């Protein structure tokens, strides 16, 4: 029987140990001189408020096992509601608003929520689609409630009385977090209280994060980790679902106002902030570490941020993992720039570092179907590219109501004491002689030609070395294993070829680069795209499936024009 663990108890412990320490700092507009106006809440205030809200939720009928959709922007209210729901034993449902309206409704209908804790516009949409959510009777409005029923956040925060946190078990569900769906249909990943608890310990210990630090998280999940570690959260003035649109001046002002010691952002976030800082000569001397996740961080971003992070020993760390298993491995910008970047430029893949302590990583033969037991998986030797599988205390064990997807993603292992299964990351890569893990792309993005497999990250790095290439994507035209490889290039701003002559010159330069590497020598097709389709959560995961359809249409149009001309 699993031990009693409720992740919300971490906040209560911090409130007892650091009652007057700042827990949440939130910008609330600007003063006449342009400086930010901030509101501050201590750990005691945040814990007390989440207690009051939890009491109100329990009075409404929110009990263990109830599925509550949380649709609230990253804010003090978001943090207090999240911990309040954990305290009730309910299961929080988190859906990325950037996945698109049709996907959101499909996910919500699938999860069958018992209620919504959301801003007014979400409740208006909920009522318009009420037939999809027949069980959603426990509803809370964060903001002004109009013609729908339920309670408001203000009403819940006025509740009083004793509260006992529900004694959930480590294996009890705490949340259902949906994947972005960048390589298929979004799936609900079931997080357990014990998994959240393990994540907090692993991240804190690996990076040496100490109570009293001040973090600027560009991703809401890190705000929850902070509250569980005694770390202050400064909520950035940005839309976390659109990191590529962040205003660098806002970030700079937050860092200076509060002497930020840690900041988290996607590669797109750091790309935008770093370019601005470089142009303006801005540095961040108070930062002890930066973090970036969601996809490979380009070397030019690491180089730029290594100059902006001017404190001794400060680096940009890139933890590797997935919604289903986080964290897995990590590497610092110093390690990349000094040890692995040159290999990446020549197609070796992206080094994501050494696995975290107590995380086991194996490379197995690439297999499409389910693997019944770990004994059926064929391990590959050092240096050979295969499928990455992971065993960890923080690995989730199932997808919500998706037994087929769970069977595909998990490999049972009755002999492993850490976990009864291995998680298939959906990525391909290899382990080198020193135990570093190298990422070579998504398994779904392998291009299978009559000359063998081509791996996206390895091939794209070859083209990304051209100074006018911002990013590129390998796609396959036709059906495997007879696909024709093509590279779609998004040029740097100001370098998009607008005439046939410019395109021909740019294309020939890229084809020469291709011919110089055995990894890309067979590529004959180069296409130019003004803005590659990417996920909104991180603005880095390229939708190669969509891009392949676009490339095929471009080829058909070119062939029609050629036939017409002849």
461 pLDDT above the threshold of 90: yes
What is residue 174's predicted lDDT score, i.e. its pLDDT? 98
Residue 565 banded pLDDT, cuts 50, 70, 90: low
With tokens 């108890």, the residue in question is 9
Q: What is the pLDDT of residues 347-365, one digit of tens each?
A: 999 999 999 998 999 999 9
DSSP 8-state symbol, 542: B
Kindly state the average pLDDT of the residues 530-539: 82
540 pLDDT above the threshold of 80: no
Q: What is the pLDDT of residues 46-57, one digit of tens each?
A: 999 999 999 999
What is residue 359's predicted lDDT score, i.e. its pLDDT? 96
- Domain 1-193: top CATH class: alpha beta
Pairwise CA distance, residues 26 & 37, whole Å: 8
Pairwise CA distance, residues 487 & 491, whole Å: 12
DSSP 8-state symbol, 7: T
DSSP characters over 259-285: T-SEEE--HHHHHHHHHHHHHHT---T
Pairwise CA distance, residues 518 & 276, whole Å: 37
Q: How many degrees, rounded to 5, is the angle at CA 89 between CA 83 and CA 94? A: 60
CB contact at 8 A, 368 and 405: no
Tell me the average pLDDT of the chain: 94
Closest CA to 109 of 134, 89, 127: 134
CB contact at 8 A, 50 and 87: yes
2 pLDDT above the threshold of 90: no
Residue 507 banded pLDDT, cuts 50, 70, 90: very high
Pairwise CA distance, residues 110 & 95, whole Å: 12
Q: How many degrees, rounded to 5, is the angle at CA 52 between CA 48 and CA 57? A: 145
CB contact at 8 A, 261 and 118: no
**CA–CA distances in Å: residue 171 to residues 279, 394, 420, 541:** 49, 11, 13, 31
**CA–CA distances in Å: residue 539 to residues 22, 355, 518:** 31, 25, 30
Copy the structure tokens of residue 423: 């998680």
Kindly state the average pLDDT of the residues 306-321: 92
28 pLDDT above the threshold of 90: yes
Closest CA to 289 of 383, 206, 352: 206
Question: Higher pLDDT residue, 558 or 168?
Answer: 168
Q: What is the pLDDT of residues 56-102, one digit of tens each?
A: 999 999 999 999 999 999 999 999 999 999 999 999 999 888 778 88
- Strands 22-30 and 447-449, sheet pairing: unpaired
The distance from CA 106 to its chain's CA centroid, rounded to whole angstroms, is 21
141 pLDDT above the threshold of 90: yes
What is residue 100's predicted lDDT score, i.e. its pLDDT? 80
CB contact at 8 A, 331 and 324: no
Portion of the chain with pLDDT greater than 90, in percent: 87
258 pLDDT above the threshold of 60: yes
Closest CA to 349 of 392, 294, 299, 423: 299
Kindly state the average pLDDT of the residues 298-318: 92
User: H or E stretch including 230?
Assistant: none
Question: Higher pLDDT residue, 160 or 386?
Answer: 386
Secondary structure string (H, E, C) spanning 490-535: EECCCCCCCCHHHHHHHHHHHHHHHHCCCCCCCCCEEEECCCCCEC
What is residue 182's predicted lDDT score, i.e. its pLDDT? 66
User: H or E stretch including 123?
Assistant: helix 120-128
Confirm whether 1-193 and 446-565 share one CATH topology.
no
Closest CA to 377 of 414, 443, 387: 387
495 pLDDT above the threshold of 80: yes
Q: How many degrees, rounded to 5, is the angle at CA 311 between CA 307 and CA 314? A: 80
Pairwise CA distance, residues 304 & 318, whole Å: 15
397 pLDDT above the threshold of 60: yes
| Predicted model pTM | 0.95
Kindly state the average pLDDT of the residues 261-285: 96
What is residue 415's predicted lDDT score, i.e. its pLDDT? 84
What are the start-end ranges of the E strands in 102-254? 115-118, 140-141, 151-152, 173-178, 188-192, 214-217, 232-234
CB contact at 8 A, 488 and 559: no
Copy the structure tokens of residue 137: 């009777």
Residue 296 banded pLDDT, cuts 50, 70, 90: confident
Pairwise CA distance, residues 346 & 77, whole Å: 47
**Torsion angle in degrees (nearest 10) through CA of 458, 463, 469, 474:** -60
User: H or E stretch including 566?
Assistant: none
What is residue 185's predicted lDDT score, i.e. its pLDDT? 82
The domain spans of the chain are 1-193, 446-565
Say if domain 446-565 classifies as CATH 3.20.20.70.
no
Secondary structure string (H, E, C) spanning 316-385: EECCEEECCEEEEEECEHHHHHHHHHHHHHCCCCEEEEEECCCCEEEEECCCCCCCCCHHHCCECCCCCC
What is residue 223's predicted lDDT score, i.e. its pLDDT? 95
CB contact at 8 A, 330 and 205: no
CB contact at 8 A, 139 and 119: no
What is residue 474's predicted lDDT score, i.e. its pLDDT? 98
**CA–CA distances in Å: residue 551 to residues 2, 513, 542:** 51, 20, 14
Closest CA to 221 of 177, 165, 181: 177
User: H or E stretch including 390?
Assistant: strand 386-391
DSSP 8-state symbol, 4: B
416 pLDDT above the threshold of 90: no
295 pLDDT above the threshold of 90: no
**CA–CA distances in Å: residue 255 to residues 222, 268, 288:** 17, 18, 12
In the three-class reduction of DSSP (H, G, I as helix; E, B as strand; rest coil), residue 396 is classed as: coil
220 pLDDT above the threshold of 60: yes
């Amino acid at each position: 029987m699993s031990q009693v663990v409720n992740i919300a108890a971490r906040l209560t412990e911090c409130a007892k140990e650091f009652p007057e320490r700042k827990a949440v700092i939130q910008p609330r507009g600007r003063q006449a001189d342009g400086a930010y106006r901030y509101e501050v809440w201590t750990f005691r205030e945040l814990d007390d408020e989440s207690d009051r809200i939890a009491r109100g939720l329990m009075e409404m009928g929110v009990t263990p096992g109830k599925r509550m959709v949380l649709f609230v922007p990253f804010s003090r209210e978001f943090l207090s509601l999240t911990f309040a729901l954990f305290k009730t034993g309910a299961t929080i449902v988190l859906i990325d608003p950037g996945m698109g309206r049709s996907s959101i409704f499909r996910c919500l209908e699938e999860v069958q929520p018992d209620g919504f804790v959301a801003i007014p516009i979400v409740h208006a949409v909920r009522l318009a689609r009420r037939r999809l959510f027949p069980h959603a009777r426990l509803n809370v409005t964060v903001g002004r409630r109009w013609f729908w029923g339920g309670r408001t956040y203000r009403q819940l925060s006025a509740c009083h009385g004793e509260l006992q946190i529900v004694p959930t078990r480590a294996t009890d569900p705490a949340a259902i977090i949906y994947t972005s769906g960048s390589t298929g249909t979004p799936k609900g990943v079931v997080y357990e209280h014990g998994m959240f608890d393990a994540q907090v310990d692993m991240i804190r210990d690996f990076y040496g994060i100490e109570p009293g630090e001040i973090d600027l998280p560009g991703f809401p999940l890190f705000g929850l980790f902070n509250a569980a570690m005694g770390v202050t959260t400064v909520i950035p003035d940005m839309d976390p679902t659109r990191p590529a649109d962040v205003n660098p001046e806002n970030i700079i002002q937050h860092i200076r106002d509060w002497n930020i010691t840690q900041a988290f952002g996607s590669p797109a976030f750091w790309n935008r902030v770093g370019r601005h800082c470089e142009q303006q000569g801005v540095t961040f001397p108070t930062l002890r570490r930066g973090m970036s996740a969601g996809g490979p961080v380009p070397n030019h971003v690491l180089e730029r941020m290594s100059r902006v992070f001017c404190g001794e020993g400060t680096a940009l760390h890139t933890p590797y993992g997935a919604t289903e298993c986080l964290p897995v491995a990590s590497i610092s910008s110093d390690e990349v720039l000094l040890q692995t970047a040159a290999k990446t430029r020549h197609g070796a893949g992206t080094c994501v570092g050494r696995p975290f302590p107590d995380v086991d990583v194996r490379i197995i033969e690439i297999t499409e179907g389910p693997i019944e037991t770990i004994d059926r998986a064929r391990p590959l030797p050092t240096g050979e590219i295969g499928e990455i599988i992971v065993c960890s205390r923080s690995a989730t064990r199932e997808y919500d109501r998706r037994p087929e997807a769970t069977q595909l993603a998990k490999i049972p292992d009755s002999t492993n004491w850490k976990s009864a299964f291995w998680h298939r990351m959906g990525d391909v890569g290899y382990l080198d002689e020193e135990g570093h893990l190298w990422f070579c792309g998504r398994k779904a993005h392998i291009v299978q030609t009559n000359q063998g497999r081509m791996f996206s990250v390895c091939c794209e790095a070859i083209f990304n070395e051209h100074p006018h290439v911002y990013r590129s994507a390998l796609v396959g035209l036709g059906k495997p294993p007879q696909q024709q490889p093509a590279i779609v290039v998004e040029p740097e701003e100001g370098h998009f070829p607008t005439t046939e002559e410019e395109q021909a010159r740019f294309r020939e330069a890229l084809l020469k680069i291709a011919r110089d590497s055995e990894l890309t020598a067979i590529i004959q097709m180069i296409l130019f795209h003004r803005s590659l389709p990417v996920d909104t959560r991180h603005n880095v995961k390229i939708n190669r499936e969509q891009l392949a359809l676009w490339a095929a249409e471009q080829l058909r149009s070119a062939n029609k024009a050629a036939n017409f001309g002849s």
